[in-house]
Amino acid sequence: MSKIRPDKVATVDEVKSKVDGTSTAVVTEYRGLTVAEISTLRRQLRTLGADYKVFKNTLVLRAITGTTFEPIGAFLQGPTAIAFVDGDVSAVAKALRDFAKESPKLIVKGGVVDGKVLSFKDLAALADLPSRDVLLAQFAGLLASPLRTMAGLLKAVPQNFAYGLSALLDSKGGPVAAPADVKVEEAAETPAGVEEAAPAASDDAAAAVAEVAVEEEAPVAEAEAETTEAPTADAASEPAE
């Protein structure tokens, strides 16, 4: 058995290091693409967190055996270039799809995510999804929306109450407050009225007591008068000695 050449060993080690550093990869066939086109695609994918590179199928098979990337072995036919994704796989799938529309010679075969095989249709569905940043922004918006709604309701309650109270007062002709001078006069007159009522009540009581006293003294005076006059009459009737 012949020994593997050092350059091939380096390639196998490179693929193994990429497999250890990520869990997602997309396999393409680049037959017919120019070096310039491959370089352009590589730069586009690099901005999305993917490393796109041409590899020999036999060396890739040797590197992925026994790993979660082993399922992509079914796609390793013909000239192969693999995008090892360390970013948003949907963004990478979209970039590959758009590039293939402009350069039909690029064929997107399939891929793998966490050991799960992705077919061409799966990658096409991923390409139709919004990017990770857009999804996060939408999710944050959904979380913030109920909070904004609650804050608006809490703010609207006192405002609506104030508006309703103002409208009610306006419908009743507005708030009516007693003038200050009227309240002062009422406060000043109240004690005087009490003082005037008190002497009147005292005079009536005194008159009643006087009448009772007169009625009680009248019989006493009449009795005294009868006692005084009686001996005088008897004395006049006796003969003088």
Angle between helices 6-21 and 57-64 (to 10 degrees): 50
* Sign of torsion over alpha carbons 129, 133, 135, 138: negative
pLDDT in tens, 16-70: 999 999 989 999 999 999 999 999 999 999 999 999 999 999 999 999 999 999 9
Q: Find residue 80's DSSP bridge partners.
A: 29, 55
CA distance 30 to 54: 9
Helix (H, G, I), strand (E, B) or coil at 65: coil
Q: 147 falls in which pLDDT band (50, 70, 90)?
A: low
pTM beyond 0.75:
no
C-beta of residue 13 within 8 angstroms of C-beta of residue 5: no
Tens digit of pLDDT for each residue in 189-215? 555 444 444 444 445 555 554 554 445
Identify each DSSP E strand in the chain by its residue range: 24-29, 50-55, 80-85, 107-113, 116-118
